[in-house]
Amino acid sequence: MTHKTIALVAHDNKKHELLEWATFNKQLLAQHKLYATGTTGTLLEKEIGIPIHKLQSGPLGGDQQIGAKISEQEIDFLIFFWDPLEMHSHDPDVKALLRIAVVWNIPVACNRASADFIITSPLLASEYQPVHPDYRAHAARAI
């Protein structure tokens, strides 16, 4: 069994849904290292009793902290139950988080169905090395 590092995030209107999903998948999640934004992490830890590395609340920089961990290749995949029907004061941070996950080619689940597919994938229990794009040419242009 290979342990993964999973980031868990949920907007306020989706926290209950993420808590239900995490409770259902508690045994699988317990085998991995979990990160979450502040409020979500506190709720998850209380609900499922698994240690969570809690960062700042999303609007206070937690989304950006997770994005930084993704860019440093410390996160294997992102479970982000976001609410597409509500405007959020930190919407630019949310878009930046989703963008950085795509830039670094990590799996992202934005709802329960996609989270179910990721958590039940045979790749979860095996060694998997995602193909990281080669950004050397892009970095050289900036100099």
CA 36 to chain centre: 7
Taking the CB of residue 139, how many other CB atoms lie within 10 A of it?
A: 9
Sign, CA dihedral 82-38-18-116, equals: positive
Which residue has tokens 């993704």? 70
Whole-number Å distance between alpha carbons of 32 and 4 = 5
Distance CA 91, CA 142 (A): 27
Catalytic residue among 12, 63, 76, 83: 63
Active site residue 83: no
The two counts, helices (H) then strands (E), for the chain are 7, 5
Query: Which are the catalytic amino acids?
Result: 63
